Chain A
Amino acid sequence: MSHANNGIFYHQALDNYLLKQNAGDGFEAVELSIDEHELLSKFHPDHRKETMTRLQVGPNQGDRCHQQIADVLQADSRIDAADLAGAQIKETDVLVIGGGGAGCAAALIAAESGANVILATKLRLGDSNTVMAEGGIQASIEKGDSPQAHYNDTFKAGHKRGNKELIKNLVMDGPDTIRWLIQQGMQFDLNRFGDLLTRKAGGTSANRVVYFRDYTGLEMMRVLREAVSNSDIDVWDYSPAVELLSNESGHCAGAIVSSLHDCRYVQIKAKTVIVATGGIGRIHLNQFPTSNHFGATGDGLVLAYRLGAKLRDLDSFQYHPTGLAYPQHLSGTLITEGVRSSGAYMINALGERFVDELKPRDIVAAAIIRECREGRGVVGDNGLQGVWLDTPGLEQRNPGIIKERFPKLMHLAQKSNIDITRTPMLIYPTLHYQNGGVVIDKNGRSTIAGLYCVGEVSGGLHGRNRLMGNALLEIISFGRRAGASAVKDKKTRGHKQISIDHISNLRRELMQKGMPMTSKSPVLFPDYVQYDSEENTAMRKDTDSHCGVCLS
């Protein structure tokens, strides 16, 4: 057996697989009695002690947190007071930061109520994780199902750590959220009588996920984007927020955005700010690949924390077991859980099953990592590793199923140059979702006046584990809540003095704790883009014509 660097090389592993696969009697059932607690604590990335630390500054001082999260939360600001001297100033009632589903929903509701709204987004309107959501959106609409059942499922799945009040409001909003989306012109899959079709998500007690094909997020996002484009909302694309503004009382009073068009700063003064920047997958916690959008670098989390907003469950992330590990250019791409639900096994490099494939996601992900770490994983020669997803076996037991039920998977296989009815796919867990985030109330208000946070950037709804379909519900439900509430706030609040004084406090605190302050945040882009490398920064500042080649 050719063992290499703690694993078995691809071709040898494939031979092992094919040998068993062709033997006819298939793969043996696995021994099911595993100590789940031990498996998680030894192998789930959330439990890796060596990568965890405790925050030393800010409202969550002393809280357990991943080192890479701590690094961005405790980094220096990108902004100095001098940067603001020449910056253009804009004013608005409501500033929405983020152009995904949550940001669009919030902006639409605020604008509809007569507020002046600016929506600033790092890339283009709609560039977000929303557009990539496949599965669907949860809403209890079937006979026999109820918001109470939805509540119970959600609370339980979050290991009973979710905020009850938030979850109650989320599930009660479910049906009306679907109605609102239909009124925006969104389509759902219907039966022949025009009723919404539903399907079951893992960990739920009823058929509760409504959907549009494998394209629920795409359909939602193109409709919301069109609605925003046809409204009075002032959309600023390629305008990442790099700092929040504060007033004399420490309330949020707007934000500083950095235009990627001309590399200049603009101060946007706002009565209220709604942060809807999404998650943080693209900082690749624990060096994991991610299913996340290119822009998911946790910008809003950092900005809110610096202004003093309390965060929660910072040590809890969802790793989806079946991310594509190979080919490299598609690494991290999600393979739907439905493949395992339909009976596909996972096979290690020795040609053996190693876990009940339908255990909860954290257990399955931890088991894959265990196989790889203990030398039973498949390895390539550049650090690539993974286990097999036995699509040939699935096809053999259910001829035609892949083509019929998983067209998107077929498409992925085509792009990977693999005939998945004959060759298994190499998979490895992929960083999927930030379970925690900014502490909010039922209207999306953070602990800082004037600052709302909605969607993945916020925490509390999902406890320590999110159910499929609850993220799409959350972004619309809480996006609308925040939009409506922000408009009410605008009548009562005015700012006397607007500054970035909170940054000076942060710097003082970082200095006192002896923090390095060598890096800056929010990072805005993944490190492999080298956005902040010296020559690129110089080039950007140098001349706009270079922007034309590389940045624009």
Chain B
Amino acid sequence: MNHNLSDKKPIQQTDKQTNNEVSMSINGQAITAPDSLSVIQALWHAGYPRVKGVGCLDGVCGSCRVMVRRSGSPEIKMELGCQLLIEEDMDVFFSVFDTPSQHHYDLSKISTSWDVQTEFHKIFSEAQKCRHCGGCNKACPKGIDVEEGVALAVKGRFRESGELFVDCVMCNLCMTGCPEYIDPNHVGLFARRVTGYFHTRPSNLINQLEAIRTGELDVDTHSGMEE
């Protein structure tokens, strides 16, 4: 099939098909590749053995974050390299530096849900210093309203805050865009985690757990399943 990109030519078909070789640059290296390729595929196509910053190739792991400047525009945008088709004169830089969170916490150390807000402000003390510069929103390749998510968490509205981060792939780009070192995506994940940890108590699950604990439910590996 068509996984072997090194010797493939572009395909002729579909609504908007083109068949062009484009010239662009990746990490300052001039590259020529068919415009049917993603940034990562173009790099491989050109013979560069890129392995860092490559992950799921499905847009959900946040590994291949890149900075992009398109032809004729001074604007730099953040995107995911596996999802981005190359274009003529496009400049792309991989953003592979580590961005470890400076915030550490252990959910099991928060004794009751009444303490979550207090603990939140201890753990993420910078969050209330948000100066609403919009850097996080601009940096997010998923279009999440990160800034609003942080603001909701600061107000203790964790469930609502977490809802805004449903699409977050933890690419950490919002961290790099924040001048106050808030780690907005980790704020969002904290908000999501405390909601699950403290407030998810499904009765259907709990009943089944009890039936298993008491031995009411068990598995007989011989019952009616003849070889």
A91 CB–B CB distance under 8 Å: no
Quick check: A294 and B54 within 8 Å, CB to CB?
A: yes
The total of chain A residues at the interface (CB under 8 A) is 101
| CB contact under 8 A between A229 and B197, given known A123-B54, A147-B217 | no
A156: chain B residues within 8 A (beta carbon): 225
> Out of B11, B16, B58, which one reaches A328, CB within 8 Å?
B11
A467 CB–B CB distance under 8 Å: no
The smallest C-beta distance from B107 to any residue of chain A, in angstroms, reads 6
Residue of A with least CB distance to B51: A525
Quick check: B11 and A550 within 8 Å, CB to CB?
A: no
A248: chain B residues within 8 A (beta carbon): none
The smallest C-beta distance from B110 to any residue of chain A, in angstroms, reads 11
B6-57: which have CB < 8 Å to A? 6, 8-16, 27-29, 36-38, 41, 44, 47-52, 54-57
Quick check: A423 and B14 within 8 Å, CB to CB?
A: yes
Quick check: A529 and B44 within 8 Å, CB to CB?
A: yes
Quick check: A329 and B37 within 8 Å, CB to CB?
A: yes
Interface stretch (choices A61-69, A164-172, A249-257): A164-172
Residue of A with least CB distance to B9: A382
Quick check: B193 and A185 within 8 Å, CB to CB?
A: yes
| CB contact under 8 A between A142 and B204, given known A155-B225, A329-B85, A533-B49 | yes
Quick check: B12 and A380 within 8 Å, CB to CB?
A: yes
B4 CB–A CB distance under 8 Å: yes
A551: chain B residues within 8 A (beta carbon): 49-52
B59-108: which have CB < 8 Å to A? 60-61, 63, 83, 85, 96, 100-101, 104-107
> Out of A141, A160, A293, A423, which one reaches B208, CB within 8 Å?
A141
B214 CB–A CB distance under 8 Å: no
Interface stretch (choices B124-132, B148-156, B162-170): B162-170
A260: chain B residues within 8 A (beta carbon): 51-52
Quick check: B37 and A179 within 8 Å, CB to CB?
A: no
Quick check: A381 and B12 within 8 Å, CB to CB?
A: yes
- What's the dominant secondary structure at chain B's contact region? loop
A517 CB–B CB distance under 8 Å: no
Residue of B with least CB distance to A327: B36
Q: How far is the CA of A382 from the CA of B5 in the complex (A)?
A: 11
A59 CB–B CB distance under 8 Å: no
Quick check: A193 and B1 within 8 Å, CB to CB?
A: no
Q: How far is the CA of A510 from the CA of B11 in the complex (A)?
A: 42
Quick check: A193 and B203 within 8 Å, CB to CB?
A: yes
Residue of B with least CB distance to A148: B219
Quick check: A185 and B197 within 8 Å, CB to CB?
A: yes
The smallest C-beta distance from B129 to any residue of chain A, in angstroms, reads 22
Q: How far is the CA of A526 from the CA of B40 in the complex (A)?
A: 13
B5: chain A residues within 8 A (beta carbon): 328, 528
B179 CB–A CB distance under 8 Å: no
A405 CB–B CB distance under 8 Å: no
Quick check: A326 and B37 within 8 Å, CB to CB?
A: no
Q: How far is the CA of A142 from the CA of B205 in the complex (A)?
A: 8
Quick check: A225 and B38 within 8 Å, CB to CB?
A: no
Quick check: B193 and A293 within 8 Å, CB to CB?
A: no
Contact with A along B161-181 (1 / 0, CB 8 A): 010001111100000000000
| CB contact under 8 A between A132 and B37, given known A194-B200, A428-B1, A525-B51 | no
Residue of A with least CB distance to B53: A552
Quick check: B44 and A530 within 8 Å, CB to CB?
A: yes
B117 CB–A CB distance under 8 Å: no
| CB contact under 8 A between A185 and B83, given known A289-B3, A552-B96 | no
Quick check: A326 and B10 within 8 Å, CB to CB?
A: no
A418 CB–B CB distance under 8 Å: yes
Closest 7 A-B residue pairs measured CB to CB? Answer: A185-B193, A10-B13, A329-B38, A164-B221, A196-B202, A127-B55, A380-B11
25 contacts between A and B (CB under 8 A): A124-B55, A127-B61, A128-B56, A129-B56, A143-B207, A172-B219, A183-B197, A195-B202, A213-B166, A223-B189, A223-B192, A229-B100, A284-B4, A294-B56, A327-B11, A327-B36, A328-B8, A328-B41, A329-B41, A381-B11, A384-B1, A525-B49, A529-B51, A530-B49, A536-B49
